[in-house]
């Protein structure tokens, strides 16, 4: 077994200060190994994007602040790293792909320059060589006519092409870890599948680890090896994709599964939504954050906050209830 590329331990991120302070990420731990795809799943406001941003210390400070935990990249704590050394890791050994391909590329610069930039910076290539590589990379992410398109500006690209360009940019320096924050949310369904397959294949080639932030359980089932389910800033269940799908153990995960349409479901049968609203992070209950929406809730759930406990092997959940019935 390889040692993990990245190990996150008890990460906590807060936003705001004083009375308005909100803990967006609370006591989150996970690790990811070379060649592995870890999916972090959760609804809007569950803290998954903030978790992703904090891995490269990109949380806007202020108002955000990483207030506790360790982020060990090959054993080195990124939270203690100097500004210069975190910069030498960003875009080089850990690359990031963002949610909005429309706005994540600089409209004033050519796509080629933006892909060449990390190569010139980290790879110490000349601009000419870096452009040459950028052209190859564009071809690699299957952009037709890459030799010409390398000089195009982002507005001349479609959404899918821009996301491919973002992937080319992320892959440029052959990183050990790629963090993809909802890379396909803004794209058409057909393009989504292409982009994710491309990402998966290319990371496999270099044996890079991939952290896939998503709210789409379909994506998770197809591409993830392991899964972390987040709710209200905490990991509520984690395990292999197999564990999570075949044997979900947290009521929230169960709810998510019940709310997606399935092919083997009878026609006309209604989906089962999770009742209620995601919690207000500024006013979390003392006990389990999911308790107000949980159909298994007991008195104990209101008093105590369940900790992550092993369900056997590397399958963990944070729940008191017996959900097997």
Partner 1 sequence: MWAYTLRRLLALIPTLVFASLIVFATVRMIPGDVIDMMLSQNDTSAGQKDREQLEQALGLDQPVYIQYFRWLGGVARGDFGHSLWQNTPVLDQILARLPITFELGLLAIIIGLVIAVPIGVLSALRQDTTGDYLMRSLSILMLAVPSFWVGTMVMVFPSIWWGWAPALVYVPFTQDPLANLGHMLTPALILGMSLSAITMRMMRTMMLEVLRQDYIRTAWAKGLNERTIVVRHALRNALIPVITLIGIQAPLVIGGAVIIEQIFVIPGMGLLLLDAVGQRDYPVIAGVFLVVGVAVMLINLIVDLSYGLFDPKVRYR
Residues at the interface with partner 1 (CB under 8 A): 56, 58, 87-92, 95-96, 98, 100, 103-109, 114, 117-118, 121-122, 153, 155, 166, 169
Residue 172 CB, nearest distance to partner 1 (Å)? 9
Q: Running DSSP on this structure, what letter comes out for residue 4?
A: P
Task: Give the strands of the sheet with 37-41, arranged side by side.
Answer: 94-97, 177-181, 209-214, 37-41, 226-231, 234-240, 316-317, 309-310
Nearer CB in complex with partner 1: 31/100: 100
**Residue 176, SS3?**
coil
* Residue tagged 């990390």 (tokens): 118
**Which lies closer to partner 1 via its Cβ, residue 170 or residue 241?**
170
Give least dist CB 322 to partner 1, A: 43
Task: State the minimum distance, in angstroms, from the CB of residue 282 to partner 1.
Answer: 23
Q: Which is nearer to partner 1, 175 or 287 (CB)?
A: 175
**Shortest Å distance, C-beta 153 to partner 1:** 4
Nearer to partner 1, 61 or 259 (CB): 61
Residue 314, sorted as left (phi over 0), alpha (psi -120 to 50) or beta, turns out to be alpha
Least distance in angstroms from the C-beta of 104 to partner 1: 5
| Rounded-to-integer distance, Cα 90 and Cα 304, Å | 39
Burial of 270 (0-12, 13-18, 19+ CB in 10 A): exposed
CB nearer to partner 1: give 68 or 102: 102
Minimum Å distance from CB 245 to partner 1? 31
Classify 253 as helix, strand or coil: helix
Q: Which residues contact 152 (CB under 8 A, 6 or more apart)?
A: 110, 111, 112
Nearer to partner 1, 100 or 136 (CB): 100
H-assigned helices in 38-94: 48-55, 83-89
Query: Torsion angle, CA of 17/18/22/27, rounded to 10 degrees?
Result: 90
* Nearest distance in Å: CB 100, partner 1: 5
Q: Residue 17 or residue 272: which is nearer to partner 1 going by CB?
A: 17
CA-wise closest residue to 281 among 5, 23, 15: 23
What distances in angstroms separate CA 276 from CA 42, 90, 219, 231, 294, one per listed residue?
Answer: 15, 39, 25, 14, 9
40 vs 235, which CB is nearer to partner 1? 40
- CB contact at 8 A, 114 and 169: yes
Q: How far is the CB of 101 from partner 1 (least distance, A)?
A: 9
């Amino acid at each position: 077994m390889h040692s993990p590329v990245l190990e996150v331990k008890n990460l906590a991120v807060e936003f705001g200060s004083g009375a308005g302070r909100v803990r967006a990420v609370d006591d989150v731990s996970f690790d990811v190994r070379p060649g592995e795809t870890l999916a972090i799943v959760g609804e809007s406001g569950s803290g998954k994007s903030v978790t992703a941003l904090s891995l490269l210390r990109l949380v806007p400070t202020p108002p955000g602040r990483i207030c506790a935990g360790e982020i060990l990249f090959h054993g080195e704590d990124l939270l203690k790293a100097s500004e210069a050394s975190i910069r030498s890791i960003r875009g080089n050994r850990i690359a990031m792909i963002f949610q909005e391909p429309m706005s994540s590329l600089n409209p004033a610069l050519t796509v080629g320059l933006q892909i060449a930039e990390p190569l010139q910076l980290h790879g110490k290539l000349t601009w000419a060589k870096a452009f040459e590589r950028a052209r190859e990379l564009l071809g690699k992410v299957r952009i037709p006519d890459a030799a010409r398109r390398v000089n195009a500006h982002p507005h001349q690209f479609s959404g899918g092409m821009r996301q491919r360009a973002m992937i080319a940019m992320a892959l440029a320096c052959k990183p050990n870890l790629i963090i993809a924050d909802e890379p396909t949310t803004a794209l058409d369904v057909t393009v989504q599948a292409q982009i994710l397959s491309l990402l998966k294949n290319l990371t496999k080639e270099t044996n890079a680890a991939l952290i896939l932030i998503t709210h789409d359980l379909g994506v998770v089932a197809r591409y993830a090896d392991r899964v972390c389910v987040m709710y209200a800033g905490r990991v509520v269940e984690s395990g292999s994709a197999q564990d999570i799908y075949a044997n979900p153990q947290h009521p929230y995960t169960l709810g998510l599964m019940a709310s997606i349409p399935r092919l083997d479901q009878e026609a006309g049968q209604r989906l089962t939504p999770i009742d209620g609203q995601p919690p207000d992070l500024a006013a979390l209950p003392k006990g389990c954050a999911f308790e107000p929406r949980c159909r298994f809730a007991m008195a104990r759930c209101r008093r105590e906050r369940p900790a992550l406990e092993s369900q056997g092997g590397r399958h963990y959940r944070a729940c008191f209830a017996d959900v097997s019935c």
